[in-house]
């Protein structure tokens, strides 16, 4: 240990760190720690000259370990690991002290912040002394993909993968392909037929040699790990089938809100209050009429049914504004004499060309009535003298009047919500759901189709309300991620993972249920638990839970943690 | 109390010339651009909304449309091309029809054919009437223009003018009463004391004669043009109603009748031609759109002015028969113009505008006195 020569580098980060923390003093204090051979401060350690300085010092001064005191390791750990690797050091012999997010950005008292920075650097130095050189490994990659759900997202993804020459297993719970889009009549804003859009894809999917379609089937079990999953599905015939798939793409879509939950709309009680999907079915049949078989003269479309509500869903379902405008066109085209009104809280037809669509709907003599989110309209049956089926009472915001609107047919723009089996699927493929039940992506902006489980991707409206173009884009984005891995032919396995020391393991299986990633197998012959390093994320739950202390987390050994604690004290 | 919407209202208003109100998305740029729009008379935005929502009753009881002079600023500012200025014009036509108890106004505004037929019928009856009066009265000679043996003697015309004036005034008065009922006696209006009515009475002549509010529009040209037209017409009306005998007493005409007559004739012709030119060129928002009733009005005005001038010239150059015939043709324009326009059409605004300003002022004064609406809403119910 005594022969270690540690280099400490303290970053100014422009003024981000330097204006609060006295970086020169931090570097100076580091020099006093035994084992520290040199300490520098510099304006930007992550810059090329900064990295070059570290590499040159390693060569010139025979440094054996490096501490960089700068930003969060999430930001630049990779940068500095690369720099020391280029100079011939093992990348795991680096330790970072976060003196930006955890110090300069959150403190005003410069003197105290400097003292804290010194302590953080001290901790990093004491820890790095115990760091061990580690090597990353690779595992083979199975090129085929399991696509869950054959809606518009699943279809496009399956075709892209198959066209790239890869095997696809397309598993669909229903008895037909097309998902929710198959339930639509026209699409907005170009009023193309949804059936036409789907038809070419569906026929290609059926005839594609690289796609195996499983209708009326579902995933029952998923074992294996990134690149080597073993999904088990129950097929149409009740048969249990195990497949080999390197990647899993979940695109299970959404379901619609149950409109009867909003009492004053009278859905289920008033026969001519219908949901947007019921209207789509009417339009598909070409029979736009009331339950009594009459042509409606007044058609009202109520927006935000279940969306943007404290009681039901806080989020906006995003597609309904434009879909409601689409109905205005479709109703007018079927019944030119009909009056169409849109009752909305906010109108935002956000897509490409959709603002024009909104303007045209307005020009096509659609009235737009605004209500407040906490003053929902109410619908009641009209008397014969009223000359209409129903009366909608709405406190209209822009005129300030309480208005009674005649209505013959009321269409509720029901919100999109996670499917009832979403949480079961999440458990099966080991991904998480947010508070509303949507699948969570790895990063909302930078990694929108990956999940926290490597090799499992999400796309389309199972992640959040999406329109058709967005779902298609997401499906293809996931395919790009999958094909990039397939092109490498293997997957990199992080050097940081947990290991069971067989000698100490009693086979109690405590760790098996603790692992959030399903990375621990139990060998019932040897009575030992075994961690699949490719699946393990090194979270440490198993190590903390093991009653025998048999589990060691690489790069997070007890010595390293104790060293860090002693350092900071 | 909820207001029942009439989704057909907007269709109806389109027949009165309201343009593109459906395009409005209530951004409020129109009201921001308007120099007159102010709380509680926020126009055109609010009227546009009533129209879009089919709120017939609130629209019928609105004073706002009469407070707008149509300078066109709002239409220039509208981001959606909803033509708020022209919509207000259409609403004013609709209101004129709503105020009119005979229903004639509705017929004339909605159908140009009916309007044309009405004008021609009244013109024909007028022509026939005066011809038969001239010939059948005994001793009538179409070759005598002035003096005691004139074909159309001054006293007869005078009697006719005053009779017509009283009848038309009465009709307009009844319509004004209806306007008062709609705008001042609805459930949202504030009750106004008799003393307030009396104290503010001077507003009526003030705004009738000066149109001083119109001057506050950003575009001053329409105001100036309108003022000249109105003053010219009033001068001519005074000459005819009061000084007809001086104009038609004999070959010698008083200097003042000459001076005022020429001035007002020039004013009438010039402003009418200016208005026609603007409506043809469509170079400003306020005359970009023309309803048939606008053309009918300008046409009749021009016809009446020109035949009046020709009649005068023929008389001065000593062609009494031609002058008499032109006189009858002139009357065939004057009578339908006044009989149809004043109580039933465009010209009724001479009463409705000053009244609306008066009523609006009364409402604000009543509010300052702390009055509560006539149809006071029931106590708000606690939310269940």
CA distance A339 to chain B (A): 7
| Contact: A367, B80; criterion CB under 8 Å | no
CATH topology of domain A145-253+419-491: FAD/NAD(P)-binding domain (3.50.50)
Q: Give the model confidence (pLDDT) of B305-363 as tens digits.
A: 999 999 999 988 889 999 999 999 999 999 999 999 999 999 999 999 999 999 999 99
Closest chain A residue to B55, measured at CA: A403
Q: What is the pLDDT of residue B150?
A: 86
| Contact: A404, B4; criterion CB under 8 Å | yes
CA distance A271 to chain B (A): 22
Buried b (16+ CB within 10 A) or exposed e, A499-515: bbeeeebebeebbbebb
Q: What is the pLDDT of residue B276?
A: 96
| Contact: A404, B25; criterion CB under 8 Å | no
Is the pLDDT confidence value at A23 over 60?
A: yes
- Choosing among B7, B22, B43, which should be mutated to test the A contact, i.e. which has the most A CBs within 10 A? B7
CB atoms within 10 A of CB B14: 17
CA distance A359 to chain B (A): 7
pLDDT category, B258, cuts 50, 70, 90? confident
Q: Is the CB of residue A143 less than 8 Å from the CB of residue A164?
A: no
CA distance B101 to chain A (A): 26
Q: Which residue in A354, A351, A371, A373 sits closest to A362, CA to CA?
A: A354
Q: What is the pLDDT of residue A511?
A: 94
Q: Give the model confidence (pLDDT) of A467-503 as tens digits.
A: 999 999 999 999 999 999 999 999 888 899 999 999 9
Q: Give the model confidence (pLDDT) of A382-398 as tens digits.
A: 999 999 999 999 999 99
| Contact: B53, A363; criterion CB under 8 Å | no
Q: Which residue in B304, B328, B305, B324 sits closest to B315, CA to CA?
A: B324
For B22, the closest of A363, A393, A398 (CB atoms) is A363
Q: Is the CB of residue A359 less than 8 Å from the CB of residue B80?
A: yes
Residue B168 tokens, joined = 């038309």
Residue B20 with chain A: CB contacts under 8 Å: 363
Q: Give the model confidence (pLDDT) of B222-246 as tens digits.
A: 899 999 999 999 999 999 999 888 7
Residue B80 with chain A: CB contacts under 8 Å: 359, 362
Cis ω before B167 (30° cut-off from 0): no
- Choosing among B52, B80, B186, B383, which should be mutated to test the A contact, i.e. which has the most A CBs within 10 A? B52
For domain A6-134, which architecture applies? 3-Layer(aba) Sandwich (3.40)
ipTM for this model: 0.82
Is the pLDDT confidence value at A96 over 80?
A: yes
| Contact: A366, B22; criterion CB under 8 Å | yes
| Contact: B55, A399; criterion CB under 8 Å | yes
Q: What is the pLDDT of residue B251?
A: 59
Closest chain A residue to B1, measured at CA: A402
CA distance A409 to chain B (A): 15
Is the pLDDT confidence value at B378 over 70?
A: no
Q: Could you give the CA distance from residue A357 to residue A189 in angstroms, rounded to a whole number?
A: 6
How many cross-chain Cβ pairs, A to B, lie less than 8 Å apart? 59
CA distance A360 to chain B (A): 8
Residue B4 with chain A: CB contacts under 8 Å: 403-404, 406
Tokens 């007159």 found at:
B36
Q: Could you give the CA distance from residue A158 to residue A164 in angstroms, rounded to a whole number?
A: 10
| Contact: A359, B23; criterion CB under 8 Å | yes
**Phi, psi angles (nearest 5°) of residue A566:** -60, -40
- Comma-separated ranges of CATH 3.40.50 domains in chain A: 6-134
For B5, the closest of A359, A368, A405 (CB atoms) is A405
Give the pairing type, strands A378-381 and A390-395: antiparallel
Residue A362 with chain B: CB contacts under 8 Å: 22-25, 80
> Where is pLDDT greater, at A82 or A494?
A82
| Contact: B22, A339; criterion CB under 8 Å | no
For domain A259-416, which architecture applies? 3-Layer(bba) Sandwich (3.50)
For residues A23-33, give the mean pLDDT.
95
- Comma-separated ranges of CATH 3.50.50.60 domains in chain A: 145-253+419-491, 259-416
Q: Is the CB of residue A11 less than 8 Å from the CB of residue A23?
A: yes
Q: Is the CB of residue B9 less than 8 Å from the CB of residue B49?
A: no
DSSP string, A119-136: HHHHHHHHHHTT------
Closest chain B residue to A386, measured at CA: B4
Domains recognised in chain B with CATH numbers:
9-99 (1.10.1060.10), 104-364 (no CATH)
CA distance B55 to chain A (A): 8
Is the pLDDT confidence value at B218 over 90?
A: no
Is the pLDDT confidence value at B384 over 60?
A: no
Give the three-class secondary structure for A258.
Answer: coil
| Contact: A368, B50; criterion CB under 8 Å | no
Interface of chain A against chain B, CB under 8 Å? 298, 339, 341, 359, 362-369, 393, 396, 398-399, 401-406
For B80, the closest of A339, A359, A368 (CB atoms) is A359
Q: Which residue in B16, B85, B17, B96 sits closest to B60, CA to CA?
A: B96
Q: What is the pLDDT of residue A56?
A: 95
Residue A396 with chain B: CB contacts under 8 Å: 53
DSSP string, B164-233: HHHHHHHHHHHHHHHHHHHHHSSTTSPP--HHHHHHTTTHHHHHHHH-TTGGGSS--HHHHHHHHHHHHH
Closest chain A residue to B8, measured at CA: A339
| Contact: A365, B20; criterion CB under 8 Å | no
- Choosing among A359, A403, A408, A409, which should be mutated to test the B contact, i.e. which has the most B CBs within 10 A? A403
Is the pLDDT confidence value at B380 over 70?
A: no
Is the pLDDT confidence value at A1 over 50?
A: no
CA distance A290 to chain B (A): 19
Q: Could you give the CA distance from residue A247 to residue A450 in angstroms, rounded to a whole number?
A: 11
Q: How far apart are the first and last CA of chain B?
A: 18
Evaluate the CA torsion angle A467, A470, A473, A477 in order and state its sign: negative
What stretches of A257-307 adopt beta strand conformation (E)?
273-275, 298-305
Q: Is the CB of residue A341 less than 8 Å from the CB of residue A368?
A: yes
Residue A402 with chain B: CB contacts under 8 Å: 1-3
Is the pLDDT confidence value at A264 over 90?
A: yes
Residue B40 with chain A: CB contacts under 8 Å: none
Is the pLDDT confidence value at A58 over 50?
A: yes
Q: Could you give the CA distance from residue A563 to residue A561 in angstroms, rounded to a whole number?
A: 5
Q: Could you give the CA distance from residue B374 to residue A249 in angstroms, rounded to a whole number?
A: 67
For residues A412-417, give the mean pLDDT.
98
Residues near A506 by Cβ (< 8 Å), separated by ≥ 6? A527, A547, A548, A550
Reduced DSSP (H G I as helix, E B as strand, rest coil) percent helix, strand, coil of chain A, to 5: 35, 25, 40
For B5, the closest of A359, A364, A403 (CB atoms) is A403
Closest chain B residue to A396, measured at CA: B53
Residue B61 with chain A: CB contacts under 8 Å: none
For A396, the closest of B7, B10, B53 (CB atoms) is B53
The CA-based dihedral angle spanning residues A405, A406, A408, A410, taken in that order and rounded to the nearest 10 degrees: 10
Closest chain A residue to B27, measured at CA: A398
Let me know if domain A498-553 sits in CATH 3.30.450.20. Answer: no
Closest chain A residue to B47, measured at CA: A399
| Contact: A363, B20; criterion CB under 8 Å | yes
Q: Is the CB of residue B302 less than 8 Å from the CB of residue B97?
A: no
Q: Give the model confidence (pLDDT) of A183-232 as tens digits.
A: 999 999 999 999 999 999 999 999 999 999 999 999 999 988 899 999 99
| Contact: B7, A396; criterion CB under 8 Å | no
Q: What is the pLDDT of residue B248?
A: 67
The packing angle between helices B221-247 and B255-281, to 10°, is: 140
Q: H-helix or E-strand containing A528?
A: strand A528-531
| Contact: B52, A367; criterion CB under 8 Å | yes
Interface of chain B against chain A, CB under 8 Å? 1-5, 7-8, 10, 20, 22-26, 46, 49-50, 52-55, 58, 80
For B22, the closest of A362, A405, A406 (CB atoms) is A362
Q: Is the CB of residue A313 less than 8 Å from the CB of residue A417?
A: yes
Q: What is the pLDDT of residue B39?
A: 86
Closest chain A residue to B82, measured at CA: A363
Is the pLDDT confidence value at B379 over 60?
A: no
Answer left, alpha or beta for residue A437, where phi above 0 means left and psi between -120 and 50 means alpha.
Answer: left
| Contact: B7, A339; criterion CB under 8 Å | yes
For residues A350-374, give the mean pLDDT.
92
For A402, the closest of B3, B7, B46 (CB atoms) is B3
- Comma-separated ranges of CATH 3.30.70.20 domains in chain A: 498-553
């Amino acid at each position: 240990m005594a022969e270690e020569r540690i280099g400490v580098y303290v970053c100014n980060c422009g003024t981000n760190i330097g204006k609060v923390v006295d970086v020169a003093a931090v570097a100076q204090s580091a020099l006093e720690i035994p084992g520290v051979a040199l300490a520098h401060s510099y304006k930007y350690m992550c810059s090329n000259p900064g990295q070059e300085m570290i590499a040159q010092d390693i060569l010139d001064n025979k440094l054996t370990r490096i501490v960089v005191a700068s930003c969060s390791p999430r930001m630049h750990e990779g940068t500095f690991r690369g720099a020391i690797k280029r100079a011939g050091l093992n990348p795991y012999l680096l330790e970072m002290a976060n003196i930006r997010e955890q110090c300069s950005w959150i403190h005003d008292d410069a003197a105290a912040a400097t003292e804290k920075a010194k302590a953080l650097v001290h901790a990093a130095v004491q820890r790095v002394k115990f760091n061990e050189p580690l090597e990353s490994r690779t595992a083979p990659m199975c090129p085929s993909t399991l696509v869950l759900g054959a809606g518009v997202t699943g279809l496009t993804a399956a075709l892209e993968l198959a066209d790239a020459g890869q095997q696809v297993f397309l598993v669909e719970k229903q008895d037909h392909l097309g998902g929710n889009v198959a339930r639509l009549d026209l699409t907005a804003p170009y009023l193309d037929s949804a059936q036409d859009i789907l038809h070419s894809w569906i026929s290609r999917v059926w005839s594609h040699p690289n796609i195996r379609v499983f209708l009326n089937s579902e995933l029952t079990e998923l074992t294996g790990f990134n690149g080597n999953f073993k999904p088990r599905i129950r097929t149409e015939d009740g048969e249990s089938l195990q497949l080999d798939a390197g990647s899993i793409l979940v695109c299970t879509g959404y379901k619609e809100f149950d409109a009867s939950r909003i009492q004053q709309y009278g859905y289920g009680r008033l026969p001519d209050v219908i949901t947007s999907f019921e209207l789509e079915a009417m339009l598909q049949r070409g029979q736009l009429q009331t339950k009594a078989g009459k042509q409606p003269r007044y058609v009202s479309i109520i927006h935000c049914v279940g969306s943007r509500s404290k009681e039901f869903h806080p989020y906006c379902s995003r597609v309904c504004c434009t879909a409601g405008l689409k109905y205005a066109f479709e109703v007018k085209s079927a019944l030119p004499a009909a009056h169409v009104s849109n009752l909305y809280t906010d109108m935002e037809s956000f897509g490409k060309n959709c603002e024009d669509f909104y303007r045209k709907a307005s020009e096509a003599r659609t009235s737009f009535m605004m209500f407040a989110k906490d003053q929902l309209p109410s619908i009641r049956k009209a008397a014969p003298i009223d000359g209409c089926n129903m009366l909608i009472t709405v406190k209209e915001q822009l005129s300030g009047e309480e208005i009674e609107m005649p209505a013959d047919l009321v269409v509720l723009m029901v919100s999109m919500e996670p499917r009832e089996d979403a949480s079961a699927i999440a458990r099966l493929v080991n991904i998480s759901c947010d508070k509303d039940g949507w699948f969570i992506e790895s990063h909302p902006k930078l990694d929108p189709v990956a999940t926290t489980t490597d090799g499992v991707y999400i796309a389309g409206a199972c992640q959040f309300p999406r329109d058709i173009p967005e779902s298609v884009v997401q499906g293809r984005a996931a395919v790009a991620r999958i094909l990039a891995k397939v092109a490498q032919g293997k997957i990199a396995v992080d050097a940081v993972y947990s290991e069971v020391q067989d000698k100490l393991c009693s086979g109690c299986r405590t760790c098996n249920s603790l692992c959030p990633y399903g990375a621990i197998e139990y060998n019932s012959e040897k009575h030992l638990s075994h961690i699949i390093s490719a699946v393990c994320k090194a979270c440490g739950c198993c190590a903390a839970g093991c009653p025998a202390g048999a589990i060691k987390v690489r790069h997070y050994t007890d010595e390293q943690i104790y060293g860090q604690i002693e350092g900071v004290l | 109390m909820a207001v029942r919407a009439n989704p057909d209202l907007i269709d109806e208003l389109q027949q009165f010339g309201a343009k593109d109100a459906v395009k409005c998305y209530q951004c409020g740029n129109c009201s921001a651009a308007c120099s007159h729009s102010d709380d509680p008379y926020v126009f055109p935005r609010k009227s546009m909304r009533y129209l879009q929502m089919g709120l017939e009753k609130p629209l019928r009881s609105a004073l706002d449309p009469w407070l707008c002079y149509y300078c066109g600023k709002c239409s220039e500012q509208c981001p959606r091309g909803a033509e708020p200025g022209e919509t207000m014009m259409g609403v004013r036509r609709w209101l004129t029809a709503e105020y009119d108890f005979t229903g004639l106004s509705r017929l004339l505004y909605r159908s140009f054919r009916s309007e044309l037929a009405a004008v021609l019928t009244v013109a024909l009856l007028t022509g026939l009437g005066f011809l038969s009066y001239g010939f059948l009265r005994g001793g009538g000679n179409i070759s005598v223009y002035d003096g005691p043996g004139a074909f159309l003697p001054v006293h007869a015309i005078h009697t006719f003018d005053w009779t017509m004036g009283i009848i038309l005034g009465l009709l307009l008065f009844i319509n004004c009463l209806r306007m008062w009922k709609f705008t001042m006696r609805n459930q949202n209006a504030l009750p106004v004391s008799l003393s307030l009515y009396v104290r503010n009475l001077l507003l009526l002549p003030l705004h009738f004669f000066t149109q001083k509010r119109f001057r506050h529009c950003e575009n001053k040209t329409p105001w100036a043009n309108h003022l000249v037209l109105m003053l010219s017409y009033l001068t001519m009306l005074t000459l005819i109603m009061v000084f007809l005998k001086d104009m038609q007493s004999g070959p010698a005409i008083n200097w003042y009748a000459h001076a005022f007559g020429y001035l007002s004739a020039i004013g009438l012709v010039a402003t009418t031609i200016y208005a026609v030119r603007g409506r043809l060129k469509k170079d400003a928002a306020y005359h970009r759109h023309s309803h048939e009733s606008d053309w009918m009005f300008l046409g009749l005005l021009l016809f009446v002015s020109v035949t009046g001038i020709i009649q005068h010239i023929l008389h001065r150059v000593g062609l009494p028969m031609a002058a008499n015939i032109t006189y009858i043709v002139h009357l065939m324009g004057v009578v339908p113009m006044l009989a149809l326009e004043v109580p039933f059409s465009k010209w009724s605004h001479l009463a409705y505008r000053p009244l609306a300003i008066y009523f609006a002022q009364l409402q604000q004064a009543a509010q300052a006195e702390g009055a509560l609406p006539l149809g006071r809403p029931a106590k708000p119910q606690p939310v269940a």
